[in-house]
């Protein structure tokens, strides 16, 4: 079944701080920024900045399972909020995606957004010349393949294994290069 993202989720723009906000190591409200989105497409809640403000609307607050979308970046992907950050908001230009149905798993949607069909759609609708921007309206019009939940779970599990394999292969390549370099240095020294 194919559905538009707006049929399965709500998309909210991040809070636009009018100027650079004064951040603290702790405070009443955490702020999720672009730097908090990892290469593994999860939100790193361990390094969030905090602000002492109370003028946020309910739609600015995030919860576990929300996706945080990079609307202005080299990659148009999302990161999943896999832990509860407490009172936290998303800063602009990030977008918050909250599923409004139980027929789509957040992990599956996070995976789907990174796939070629979604990336082609997003790239073809991006605006700007030097820095591409994906609008909230464009993201809402993204067409999603929605298989049954069991199949979504299988896809997520297989994708996680493929990611693990890539990480291991990269580590192996680094170790192999270090090992060969050490052998060649010994040979060059005449040992």
pLDDT digits (tens, 9 = 90+) for 151-160: 999 999 999 9
Q: What is the pLDDT of residue 99?
A: 96
Angle 154-159-162 (CA atoms, 0-180°, nearest 5)? 130
Domain spans of the chain, in order of start: 2-146, 147-191
Element containing residue 169 per DSSP (H, E): helix 149-188
* Strands annotated E in the chain: 2-4, 9-13, 29-32, 49-51, 67-69, 78-80, 88-90, 95-99, 143-145
In percent, the amount of the chain with pLDDT more than 90 equals 63
Quickly count helices (H) and strands (E) in the chain: 5, 9
Residue 177 has pLDDT above 70, yes or no: yes
Structural tokens at position 13: 């723009």
Q: What is the pLDDT of residue 62?
A: 93
Distance from C-alpha of 178 to C-alpha of 154, rounded to nearest angstrom: 36
Q: What is the pLDDT of residue 190?
A: 73
Residue 16 has pLDDT above 90, yes or no: no
Helix (H, G, I), strand (E, B) or coil at 33: coil
- Over residues 130-150, the mean pLDDT reads 93
Q: Which fold is adopted by the domain 2-146?
A: Adenine-n6-DNA-methyltransferase TaqI; Chain A, domain 2 (3.90.220)
Residue 20 has pLDDT above 70, yes or no: no
The gap from C-alpha 82 to its chain's centroid, in whole angstroms, comes to 11
pLDDT digits (tens, 9 = 90+) for 106-123: 999 999 999 999 999 999
**Peptide bond just before 13 cis, omega within 30 deg:** no
Q: What is the pLDDT of residue 86?
A: 86
pLDDT digits (tens, 9 = 90+) for 80-108: 999 988 889 998 899 999 999 999 999 99
Distance from C-alpha of 57 to C-alpha of 65, rounded to nearest angstrom: 19
Give the chain's radius of gyration (CA, Å).
Answer: 20
Distance from C-alpha of 94 to C-alpha of 78, rounded to nearest angstrom: 9
Q: Which of 5-9, 55-59, 138-142, 175-179 has the lowest mean pLDDT?
A: 55-59
pLDDT digits (tens, 9 = 90+) for 28-69: 888 998 999 988 888 988 888 888 777 787 888 999 999 999
Q: What is the mean pLDDT of the chain?
A: 90
Q: What is the pLDDT of residue 47?
A: 83
Strand-by-strand arrangement of the 9-13 sheet: 9-13, 95-99, 67-69, 78-80
- Over residues 118-138, the mean pLDDT reads 89
- Give the pLDDT band (50/70/90) at residue 21: low
pTM of the model: 0.84
Distance from C-alpha of 122 to C-alpha of 97, rounded to nearest angstrom: 15
Say if CB 47 and CB 17 are below 8 A apart: no
């Amino acid at each position: 079944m194919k559905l538009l993202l707006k049929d399965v989720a709500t998309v909210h723009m991040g809070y636009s701080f009018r100027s650079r906000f004064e951040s603290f190591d702790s405070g009443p409200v955490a702020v999720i920024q672009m730097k908090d989105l990892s290469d593994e497409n999860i939100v790193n809640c361990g390094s969030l900045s905090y602000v002492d403000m109370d003028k946020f609307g309910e739609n600015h607050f995030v919860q576990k399972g929300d996706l945080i979308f990079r609307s202005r970046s080299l990659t148009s992907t999302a990161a999943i909020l896999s832990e509860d950050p407490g009172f936290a908001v998303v800063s602009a230009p990030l977008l918050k995606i909250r599923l409004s149905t139980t027929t789509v798993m957040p992990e599956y949607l996070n995976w789907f957004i990174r796939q070629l069909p979604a990336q082609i759609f997003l790239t073809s609708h991006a605006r700007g010349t030097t820095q591409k921007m994906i609008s909230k309206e464009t993201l809402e019009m993204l067409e999603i393949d929605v298989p049954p939940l069991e199949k979504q779970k299988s896809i997520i599990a297989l994708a996680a294994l493929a990611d693990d394999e890539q990480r291991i292969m990269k580590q192996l390549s680094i170790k192999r290069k270090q090992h060969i370099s050490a052998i060649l240095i010994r040979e060059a020294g005449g040992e």
